[in-house]
Amino acid sequence: MSYWHEEPTHTRVIRPRLLSGVATIIRYDNAVSGDFEIHFMRYDGIGKPLMWQRFPDDWWEFWPIEPIRATHLDQAKAASAGAALRLESGDETGFTKRRYEPSVRPIVVKEIDHPDRMAKAIIAQHADGRFQVFYHVYAPDGLYLPVSTPSVGELGWEWGQAGPLQKTFADSLQSALEIAAIKLAEIVAGDPEIKQRIAEE
């Protein structure tokens, strides 16, 4: 069985100003201390810029030629402020400009349902061939981060995201299936709040 864990990468977005459409994107592994990657996006479309609805024809990315470095989140915000103001004024010098390209989502190839509880492991394959495992559980509202917003489920219940804090990857479908079965059993055993599965007649 060949699998590994990776720490999740977080993204902090400083929302774009309505007039300039410039947003600051800060990516990091650890908000307390770590390596912060900073770049910018600018909206050149018509109407209000919406970060959750980004189309390649409307957005540009600007990557500093001289990387902006920071060791904690507050420092990253302060260090990026001057560059954001330059972009807002229309000054694009010092940046590599490229069209925004949405990341390619992995394709779901297999789902494993827990036999007794409403919980499942979802195995998806990335474009580079890696397999990644996700875990969803049906539990009382607020116990887990909702799978979708607004959440879907009966009153007081919703599907939520569960599993280890790290991302789990595997180099083959068989390895992904093996680790998914192990982790799904651990998740269910650790939370009696996950709803019982009703046996089909």
pLDDT at 46: 80
pLDDT at 201 over 50: no
pLDDT at 24 over 70: yes
pLDDT at 198 over 70: yes
Other residues' Cβ atoms within 10 Å of the Cβ of residue 30: 12
Taking only the tens place, the pLDDT of each residue in 81-134 is 999 999 989 899 999 999 988 888 899 999 999 999 999 999 999 999 999 999
pLDDT at 131: 96
Angle of CA points 89, 73, 126, to nearest 5°: 90
On whether the CB atoms of residues 180 and 133 are closer than 8 A, the answer is yes
Per-residue pLDDT band at 34 (split at 50, 70, 90): low
pLDDT at 200 over 70: no
70, amino acid identity: A
pLDDT at 54: 72
What are the angstrom distances between the C-alpha of 46 and each of 22, 41, 55, 57? 14, 15, 12, 11
Task: Say which range, 6-20, 46-60, 85-99, 158-172, has the weakest mean pLDDT.
Answer: 6-20
Give the pLDDT mean for 130-141.
94
DSSP characters over 55-69 = -TTTEEEEEESS---
Mean pLDDT of the chain: 85
Kindly state the percentage of the chain with pLDDT values over 70: 87
pLDDT at 151: 61
Percentage helix, strand, coil, to 5, in the chain? 15, 35, 50
pLDDT at 94: 93
Distance from C-alpha of 89 to C-alpha of 105, rounded to nearest angstrom: 34
Taking only the tens place, the pLDDT of each residue in 174-192 is 999 999 999 999 999 999 9
On whether the CB atoms of residues 173 and 158 are closer than 8 A, the answer is no
Give the pLDDT mean for 15-21.
67
